[in-house]
Structures are given as C-alpha cells and as structure tokens.
Amino acid sequence: MGIFAAVVTLAAPILPAKADPIYVKYKSNFQTINTTTWTTVTMDGGINYVPLSLNSRRLVVGRFTSETDCYGTTAAAGHCSVRIMYRNTATGAITEFNPVVGTDFVFDSKDTGNSRQGHAVSRSVLLPAGNYEVYVQGAVTLSAITLRLDDAHFEVELYNP
C-alpha cells in the first residue's frame, strides 16, 4: 500500500467568510466489495485516505460518486452501503461523518446484476485543529451480495465555519 506524502496545510488561521473552499480530489477505478465488514475504498496509486492538517476549526465536506452495481444471488433483501470516515491521527479515534447512519444509508439496492448506475453521497463534519485521515468505506448487508465500484471520484472540501 502506497503512502501519499502531500498534506493539505492551511497557512492562514482564518479564511475570509466568502473564501473559496480548498479542494482535495482523488479518483478510483474498478473495485469490488463483498463483505459485511466495512472495507476502505482504495484510490488510484494505492491511496487509502486523504490527509488533512488543519491549523484551525474547519467544516469538512466529503463527496463520493461512483458508477455502481449492487448484485447478488440471494432472494433475501439487502443493499450496498458507503460511508465517509475520518481518523484523528493523534488519538486514533475513528468517526463517521454526519449523519452517522452506518449501513442504514442505501448507496445502491440489490438486483441480479448488469444494472450499473451512478450514485453519490455527501457528508460533513466540523473538525477542530489537528491532523486527520479522511476516507470512504463500503459494505454490503448480506455476504451473498457484491458491491462493484468503478469510475469513482472522492472530493474533500474545507470551509471556514
């Protein structure tokens, strides 16, 4: 797994109220997830997270879009989920962006396959100064289901609250 060395560092402690957001963007290619355990989505180059170094409190908005295919052989109901997470590198605490809903968020519903669609999720959290890793995870609600992600895009925006 590669380590991404670039860190977003905010030089000024406070941005003007109407400042443009600071963007960090990554894209991902084909990946399948077929476990009920949350799995981190790997971006191009083996990148698993977006590193953030915040000099002051910021509103952090994460957006993940992807072509998806959620399919399975089981007749039971089930679905595919994604969530946006952050890890405080000082404490190791891992938290889901708001709203915190886990697999209750249906990113794509199950069918018999070959029905690729585009889906998106946008989440936010207010973070104090510190160092963080922001990432996307995917999971399925039944082990007989597979989530296929392709042509994905992950974007993180920082705003002055």
Q: What is the pLDDT of residues 41-51, one digit of tens each?
A: 887 767 788 88
Given a cut of 70, whether residue 19 has pLDDT beyond it is no
Predicted pLDDT at 161: 80
For the chain, give the mean pLDDT.
81
Asked if 37 and 143 count as a contact pair (C-beta separation under 8 A), the reply is no
Given a cut of 80, whether residue 134 has pLDDT beyond it is yes
With a pLDDT cut of 90, the percent of the chain lying above it is 40
Predicted pLDDT at 5: 32
Angle ∠(50,8,11) on CA atoms, nearest 5: 160
Domains of the chain listed by start with CATH number: 31-159 (2.60.120)
Nearest to 138 by CA among 100, 91, 102: 102
Predicted pLDDT at 131: 95
> Residue range 25-49: average pLDDT?
78
Give me the torsion for CA of 132, 156, 101, 70, rounded to 10°: -120
Given a cut of 70, whether residue 141 has pLDDT beyond it is yes
